[in-house]
Amino acid sequence: MEKLTIVLLGKQGAGKSASGNTLLGCDSFLAAASSKQVTRACSVRHATVDQQIIEVIDTPGWGDSSQFDTEMKPNIIKHINQYKPQVFLLVLPIGRFTVEETKTVLNILKGLGDEVIKSMIVLFTKGDDLENRTIEDYLKESHTDLEKIIQICEKRYHVFNNKNSKDRQQITSLLKKINDLVEKNENTKVMSEQKKMTQNRQADNSVPEKIKSPTENGKSLDDQGSTDGKERKELEKLQEFTKENMEKQLKTIKEELKLMQQKADQMEQLQQEQKFLNGLNQKFKDLTRECMKNVKKQLTTMKEEGKPMQQKADPNEQLQQEQKFLNELNQKLQDFTKECMKNMEKQLKTMKEERKQMLQKADPREQLQQEKKKSKELET
């Protein structure tokens, strides 16, 4: 399981600690609804979120750019070098921004450098304050300097409502944006390394053989061997990194194909079962209709037989004759019902056999096993 390390940056009271708790799904950091500084030093917490290990570094909030440079930046740089985070979240609360606040953010971003900005996403907190507006509407109404911050971060932003920390959709969506950014930066790094290696090889090949000497550019053969060894190690490292990245992507593609195949097999099986049930239902209706037809026919016959008997019987024996006729009628109905049930069970057994054969034909592995069984029987 690959670990993802995230750094939270922002001014005092922006909601960094609360966002860290929402992201990790637990109260890992001390958070308070206050404009005063709650986090005094960098702290690290981690948890497993959506089957991924998430490591969050919460940093102290700044008041202005001078305070950040003198009091906080050294400690933050120390943690960056130690934990090597892949993503930085610039936490900004929804609300009115002053010119001074936005300039402070711009100065701090400039001090952190391009490498940090390439891995930065703006995380807006207090999403419930948007009410019926979208984040895009809010950005249009905001100060131009805030739009400049979004442009510097290449329009990467997300909205958190820390009051509704049980909303997993906002967390899943943020993690997707983070993982996409990490993958993009890794691919850019690989391409940059490959381009650099190609340029170095082209530069070496551009030097004519007759000009090259054992002490070319003032370097001895030992120095050249050391340089070649270093380049070779860099190339091997780059090849290993590229191989790992390709294996990771190939594994993901295989898993997706496997899931698609499973879904296709399930759909085919459901279609076969639905077809079987439709056929079973139709046969049951036909059999019921035939049984009712036979029952009516039997009743008509028994009534015809009962009329002469009623005419011949005298008044004293009529009641006994009717009772005897009803008993016989009841017995015949019971016998006929048993016969119908027997026929229905026989029909169901036949249809089950047909369904079994149909599923065997639909499953190539079952069909292969049947063919192997037949082959062994023929050899025997």
**Residue 25, SS3 per DSSP:** coil
pLDDT of res. 248: 82
Residue 161 tokens read as 């409502």
Contact of 49 with 127, CB cutoff 8 Å: no
Q: Name the CATH superfamily housing domain 3-186.
A: P-loop containing nucleotide triphosphate hydrolases (3.40.50.300)
Report the first-to-last Cα separation within the chain, whole angstroms: 53
How far, in Å, CA of 23 to CA of 174, rounded?
Answer: 9
What is the pairing mode between strands 52-58 and 87-93?
unpaired
How far, in Å, CA of 164 to CA of 217, rounded?
Answer: 65
Looking at every residue in the chain, the average pLDDT score rounds to: 81
Give the confidence band of 54 by pLDDT, cuts at 50, 70, 90. very high
Residue 298 CB partners (closer than 8 Å, separation 6+)? 332, 333, 336
Of all residues in the chain, the percent with pLDDT exceeding 70 is 82
Q: What are phi and psi of 91, to 5 degrees?
A: -90, 120
Residue scoring higher pLDDT (163 or 38) = 163
pLDDT of res. 84: 93
Q: Which of 231, 249, 233 is nearest to 187 (CA)?
A: 249
The continuous run of DSSP H or E covering 56 comes out as: strand 52-58
Tokens 């279609």 correspond to 271
How far, in Å, CA of 9 to CA of 266, rounded?
Answer: 47
Most confident of 147-151, 265-269, 293-297: 147-151
pLDDT of res. 211: 47
**Residue 165, SS3 per DSSP:** coil
How far, in Å, CA of 6 to CA of 55, rounded?
Answer: 6
How far, in Å, CA of 219 to CA of 215, rounded?
Answer: 5
Angstrom distances, CA of residue 251 to CA of 27, 143, 182, 254, 255: 34, 45, 18, 5, 6
Question: Is residue 115 exposed (0-12), middle (13-18) or buried (19+ Cβ within 10 Å)?
Answer: exposed
Q: What is the pLDDT of residues 150-189, one digit of tens each?
A: 999 999 999 999 888 888 899 999 999 999 999 999 999 8
Domain ranges (residues) in the chain: 3-186, 285-379
Amino acid letter for position 261: Q
Of all residues in the chain, the percent with pLDDT exceeding 90 is 26
Q: What is the pLDDT of residues 205-259, one digit of tens each?
A: 665 544 444 444 455 555 555 666 777 777 887 888 888 878 888 888 888 788 7
pTM of the model: 0.54
